[in-house]
Amino acid sequence: MNRVTWLGHSTVVIEIDGTRLITDPALRRRIWHLRRPEAVSATALGELDGVLVSHAHFDHLDLGSLDKLDRSLPLVVPREAGELVRRRGFARVLEVAAGDELDLGSLRIRATHAEHGSGRGPFSPQSSALGYVVTGSAAVYFAGDTDLFDGMAELGPLDLALLPVSGWGAKLPAGHLDPLRAAEALRLLRPRAAVPIHWGTFRAPFAPRHGPAPARDFARAAALVAPEVKVHMLQIGGSLALVSDGTP
């Protein structure tokens, strides 16, 4: 069965044609100052065939979460971020830039631009932020963290878009999609369906509790801006099946 399973924040298991990939594994209950109610269990992950990392920010490239994965898995990361994961014992590290393509299992992976700063600190190499289009019998776009950018309309055709709609702090800084801008991204991307991610998982100390409001606001805005796109709000651990022609 083709399906996606949202495990919170930007962590999604994408399963197409028997190949299972995980995006931006953030599996721990605590990542630096961020907290989530529960960690992600190993049983929720299942057997994996590869890892896609969008950028080097700590809530997207979490080394403690990667330590929970099989070191034999291939990891796809932005260029200049590879050494961070090689130090953890991962040997199959594939560094890519926007426009690069590669195969993982039965799937074709295309790295895309992301409009987002991705620095990890003054003592780490500077690397870019990416999104990924995963293509087999269905085409799924994982945006990572991004704002709207030139060329977004050229990423399709897409069956499903996994779009960030919020953050974890009191304010959403530049380089992110809020619910309204994520709805505008749907107008450009023209997917059959969309799942909002990057909401309602981690929270910084003293930050307000947004709950499901960002995802609901996105669904309302999408109904006005891109009514042909079906929005599916998933709970953490929830899955969306894609039928054989890729239609959710």
Domains of the chain (ranges, CATH numbers):
2-235 (3.60.15.10)
CB 244: neighbour CB atoms within 10 A?
9
Contact 223, 180 (CB under 8 A): no
Half-sphere exposure of 130 (CA within 13 A, CB side): 30
Q: What is the pLDDT of residue 88?
A: 95
Q: What is the pLDDT of residue 120?
A: 78
> Phi then psi for 152, rounded to 5 degrees?
-60, -35
Q: What is the pLDDT of residue 73?
A: 98
Q: What is the pLDDT of residue 168?
A: 86
162-208 pLDDT, tens per residue? 999 998 887 888 899 999 999 999 999 999 999 999 999 998 888 88
Contact 78, 94 (CB under 8 A): no
Q: What is the pLDDT of residue 205?
A: 86
Which segments in the chain show pLDDT lower than 50? none
The alpha-helical segments, DSSP class H, found in 47-194 are 63-66, 82-86, 179-189
Q: What is the pLDDT of residue 247?
A: 77
| Beta-ladder partners of 133 | 110, 141
Instruction: Collapse the DSSP code of 185 into the 3-class scheme (helix H, G, I; strand E, B; otherwise coil) and give the result.
Output: helix
